[in-house]
Amino acid sequence: GSRQPRGGSRQAGASRRAAMVKMVADYDEFKEIIASGTVIVDFTASWCGPCRMIGPKFEAMEGEFAGKITFIKVDVDEVEEAASECGIKAMPTFMVYKDGQKVDEMVGADEKKLRAMVEKYA
């Protein structure tokens, strides 16, 4: 008989700590995710130093605010349409969406400001 390969259901075994912020694959997925609930988007780039510094902090906050806020990342080089649609001029830029409407944004790798913004919508 054919058996399902081990690790078929990755969701079940994944511990909450190991949760990684979702990296959006394309513009359609981006629009779909921001359409409902409170979503915080990290517009990032692989070559951006400050993005790499704030990235782990952003991911730690996801664990903290899980269930209240959805955290996603958009690589501006991978999903150019989202970056241009949102008018991203510098990285990192963080945007907050509520049911598809942009309600807040901040530019720069400032952990205190980011946390204050996250807490405001949690």
Residues assigned a catalytic role: 48, 51
Please name the residues in contact with 113: beta carbons below 8 A apart, sequence gap of 6 or more.
106
Distances (CA, A) of 120 to 30, 66, 91, 93, 103: 22, 15, 22, 17, 11
Asked if 115 and 60 touch (Cβ cutoff 8 Å), the reply is: no
